Structure 1
């Protein structure tokens, strides 16, 4: 049961095409093995030993295929699965008739082949076309042909609808997996488009979009907005003395401290280089200064060691509150001016726009 749950989790959360497809293929093999296991007893009970023995072989093929997929033998597993579907489908319609519905499974080869990423597009087109032609040929040959073994009509009808339902379920699974893959890929792309790759904070472009939205809310008489612009002190010295790798580590540590120092409704972005921006909605002047001071202290306490030497880290922060009729750019400019004053006053401090250091 845990094995099935792990496969379902892979299908729900995967963004890797190969991983999702193989997870889906493995799940299908498990379901197919269970279904064919039940067919063994069914055909044995109605006196069709050929089909009972064929389903024994089918169960073994699907179990082997699942093991091959888990061990990285994807191509061999694909060949076995496709071969089993074709042979079993042809044998079933020849032995017990077209109305049994086993031919439906042959159709599944087309979407499975197209969704796989193991072959070139031309190969997929050839396989899909060949399967389509084969299916139509089987329809022409066996639809009105007399089966080798006649089973009771109620049993035949039950088989038909069972196979039809199974095919629809597998098609639905394929469609669901494809949808989830596309949706997760889109979400991943959106995340990449608005995230700084080093710090995993929001990037400048996305932060500006958020800021513009919050400014619009403020202009409509909504909640206030505080902007905090910070710059890591003597960052160039950290890079020059300790190396760029240490500098990157320092930026990631600062980003973590900023992320932990704000609320869930707040936004933290890497503004550029060693500069960071905090957007604090529903925050007045006093609260903005308190948050900024808390963040400054947390950054000053970061223990970054390089070659047994402590690397001091601090940040200077400029704070401004958006005022009526003011643009985001103007509020940011005031925060930047306050930041500049803090740098001139000795760094490692918080300055409110309009106040002298």
Structure 2
């Protein structure tokens, strides 16, 4: 936002140079040259992320130039409108304290009203022809409105991006970047509603990493996190786009397979199990590969998601008890 303001303001000041010279306001024209230099410097500071100094330069230039131009050419030229731009620019920045931003906005409002009060009826040193003054007035008003519209657009875009980031954080496990438990349960309930209406099957797979506690105990949590991240990537690549993979908790994962029959789900679950076996941990994990035990259920008529999950979880426990690294189909409800 600040970069665009610097570029637009520099071009506007360059465009005003010939007008000021022709009006005999050469001193103000030299001020314009200095303004172009200040906006160029502010642009460099923005690119280098020295944002506070850049904002101070922009606000200071707008204040001084607005006052000088209004005094030199009169309020009829409309340069006082630019002072109002300090209010949204200052309030939209998030790298300054709120009190300082509020004071800057208040100062802009006070200066604008003071100019409007003191310069009414003032005879400027370099008065413009009535037609020229009127054209310049509406040009400056139009530029101010365009910049305000641009700032509103930027604000709306920033708010949208912030909302998207918050939604992503609320729905995503920070370690594996898979969906989290809360999100996948919402999806599961929606898919259950589709099953109730149309009969489209829904399969659920609960998967648990075998001997994961041993990995953490012997090699540390950093290695354990790397293992979970690798497993998450494999699970995500081995299912369809319409399927959902989530971190269920700890070393457990949940896979939802909409529109998948019991037989098809067994094929998918066994493919996932074999894919996990192909992961080769780093040397830090010691010898041996990874494995997972998977419990699977298919939602039954009249059954809730919680009940289907409980059956899948019970099947997972049976798989752990019978030797791990296998797929166990849950008993019917």
TM-score by length of 2: 0.93
1:155 aligns with 2:132: yes
Deviation at 1:174, TM superposition (A): 2.0
C-alpha separation in 1, matches of 2:238 and 2:132: 68
Deviation at 1:321, TM superposition (A): 0.7
- Select which of 197, 205, 215 maps to 2:192: 215
Task: State how 1:269-288 maps to structure 2 within 5 Å.
Answer: 269-288=246-265
C-alpha separation in 1, matches of 2:242 and 2:121: 68
Structure 1 residues 308 and 297: CA distance shift in structure 2, 3 A? closer
**Structure 1: 5+ residue runs without aligned partners?**
1-23
C-alpha separation in 2, matches of 1:119 and 1:208: 40
Residue 25 of structure 1 corresponds to which residue in structure 2?
2
Counterpart contact for 1:300–1:313, Cα < 8 Å: yes
TM-score by length of 1: 0.87
Structure 1 residues 249 and 31: CA distance shift in structure 2, 3 A? same
Structure 1 residues 221 and 307: CA distance shift in structure 2, 3 A? closer
Counterpart contact for 1:257–1:298, Cα < 8 Å: yes
Residue 174 of structure 2 corresponds to which residue in structure 1?
197
- Select which of 84, 97, 122 maps to 2:61: 84
C-alpha separation in 2, matches of 1:160 and 1:215: 63
1:178 aligns with 2:155: yes
- Select which of 239, 245, 250 maps to 1:262: 239
**Structure 2: 5+ residue runs without aligned partners?**
none
Deviation at 1:300, TM superposition (A): 0.6
C-alpha separation in 2, matches of 1:77 and 1:178: 19
Task: State how 1:100-115 maps to structure 2 within 5 Å.
Answer: 100-115=77-92
Residue 307 of structure 1 corresponds to which residue in structure 2?
284
Structure 1 residues 190 and 72: CA distance shift in structure 2, 3 A? closer
C-alpha separation in 1, matches of 2:272 and 2:285: 26
Residue 130 of structure 1 corresponds to which residue in structure 2?
107
- Select which of 247, 262, 266 maps to 2:224: 247
Deviation at 1:29, TM superposition (A): 0.8
Counterpart contact for 2:14–2:36, Cα < 8 Å: yes
- Select which of 135, 141, 160 maps to 1:164: 141
C-alpha separation in 1, matches of 2:48 and 2:175: 34
Deviation at 1:57, TM superposition (A): 1.2
Structure 1 residues 353 and 73: CA distance shift in structure 2, 3 A? closer
1:338 aligns with 2:315: yes
Once the two structures are superposed, what CA deviation does each residue of 1:53-84 show, in whole Å capped at 9, x if it has no partner? 22111111100111122234333322222221
C-alpha separation in 2, matches of 1:304 and 1:167: 60
C-alpha separation in 1, matches of 2:83 and 2:288: 66
C-alpha separation in 2, matches of 1:221 and 1:76: 62
Q: Matched residue of 1:220: which SS?
A: helix
- After TM superposition, the structure 1 stretch with the greater mean CA deviation from structure 2, 51-60 or 149-158, is 149-158
- After TM superposition, the structure 1 stretch with the greater mean CA deviation from structure 2, 68-77 or 232-241, is 68-77
Q: Matched residue of 1:108: which SS?
A: helix
Counterpart contact for 2:234–2:275, Cα < 8 Å: yes
Q: Give the total of aligned pairs.
A: 332
Deviation at 1:210, TM superposition (A): 1.1
C-alpha separation in 2, matches of 1:99 and 1:310: 83
Residue 352 of structure 1 corresponds to which residue in structure 2?
329
C-alpha separation in 1, matches of 2:102 and 2:231: 52
1:235 aligns with 2:217: no
C-alpha separation in 1, matches of 2:147 and 2:199: 50
C-alpha separation in 2, matches of 1:223 and 1:178: 43
C-alpha separation in 2, matches of 1:101 and 1:321: 71
Once the two structures are superposed, what CA deviation does each residue of 1:292-313 show, in whole Å capped at 9, x if it has no partner? 1211111110011133834521
- Select which of 9, 22, 38 maps to 1:61: 38
Q: Matched residue of 1:317: which SS?
A: strand
C-alpha separation in 1, matches of 2:166 and 2:33: 45
